[in-house]
Amino acid sequence: MYPFKYHRPTSLEEAASLYNGSDDPVYLSGGMTLIPTMKQRLAAPADVIDLSGIESLTGISVKGDKLTIGAFTTHAAVMASADVRKHIPVLAYLAAQIGDAQVRNRGTIGGSVANSDPSADYPAAIVSLGTTIHCQNRSIDGTEFFKDLFETALEPGEIITSIEFSMPTRAAYRKFPNPASRYAVVGVLVADFGGSIRVGVTGAGPCACRASGMEKVLNDNLKPAAIDAVEVPDAGFNSDLHASAEYRAHLVKVMAKRAVAAMLEG
């Protein structure tokens, strides 16, 4: 690790001003992505601004038909939350699939979403669960948040403060884990919003996206077999040591079918 200055602001304003005052700043949330990168000397920020001191970033609340999760909330907290389990059980299930216990105890939803790792799990939920990403001064629609490999709609210095989720009537997530890292080779979340089906896919392409073709056939015929008719071209899909683009395209369909089946079984 290269030397850096560590800061622990207690308000969003302080965090932003620290950020603006530095030549090479970075926000630190759970550190499960950032710290390993720094340890491998692949990142050398001058100032590390730890968000853990900002109380307003943590917590889960329900208001009307929305559930809101603070950016600094850990995967473990999401997994264990009674509110999440009651209103969006698929989210608790998804959080439980992330990494291992240590990672879940440190890693946060804000960090995961801000990072836009192509194989992260949460993004499948962000694009499919009618979400709004709240930042200090604006809000971004979840379907417009992920731009590319590790790229999001966030402006430099912008902090995700919380994420607001709509509540599907039912939903299911199925993930094909990378055997080594346990990240998603492919993950598919299928959600039913009172007859309107949304499908979020992570792992396959450079960033998470909705699968409109699948949504269309499922809206007509909500059965796993309906997916068979959908073409999933592998153009632009990721291809690496663990899975070719072609295999990923195949897995998208398999995981989608399994998610639909799981959702129907309840």
Ligand X SMILES: Cc1cc2nc3c(=O)[nH]c(=O)nc-3n(C[C@H](O)[C@H](O)[C@H](O)COP(=O)(O)OP(=O)(O)OC[C@H]3O[C@@H](n4cnc5c(N)ncnc54)[C@H](O)[C@@H]3O)c2cc1C
Q: How many CB atoms lie within 10 A of CB 30?
A: 23
Q: Is there binding between residue 108 and ligand X (CB under 6 A)?
A: yes
Rounded Cα distance, 123 and 223, in Å: 24
Cβ atoms 123, 113 nearer than 8 A: yes
Token representation of residue 184: 């998603």
> Using CB under 6 A, which of 4, 7, 9, 29 touches ligand X?
29
Contact 263, 256 (CB under 8 A): no
62 binding ligand X? (CB under 6 A): no
Considering the rule CB under 8 A, would residue 37 count as an interface residue with other proteins?
no
Which residue in 38, 84, 114, 129 binds ligand X (CB under 6 A)? 114
Q: Which helix (H) or strand (E) holds 138?
A: none
Residues 202/126, Cβ–Cβ less than 8 Å = no
Provide the token pair at 66: 């929305």
Note whether 28 binds ligand X by CB under 6 A. Answer: yes
26 binds, among ligand X, other proteins, none (CB under 5 to 8 A by kind): ligand X
Question: Which range touches ligand X (CB under 6 A), out of 3-11, 26-34, 203-211, 254-262?
Answer: 26-34
Q: Residue 65 gets which letter from DSSP?
A: T
Interactions with other proteins, residue window 228-247 (CB under 8 A): 241-244, 247
> In terms of CB distance, is 108 or 131 closer to ligand X?
108
**Residue 251, contacted partner among other proteins, ligand X, none, CB below 5-8 A by kind:** other proteins
As measured in angstroms, the least distance from the Cβ of 72 to ligand X is: 7
Query: In the chain, what is the straight-line distance between the N-terminal and C-terminal CA atoms, in Å?
Result: 47
**In this complex, which beta carbon is closest to other proteins, that of residue 27 or of residue 183?**
183
Q: How far is CA 25 from CA 40, 48, 110, 111, in A?
A: 18, 6, 17, 15
Task: Tell me which residues touch ligand X (CB under 6 A).
Answer: 26-34, 36, 51, 71, 98-99, 103, 107-108, 110-112, 114-115, 117, 120-122, 154, 159-160, 181-183
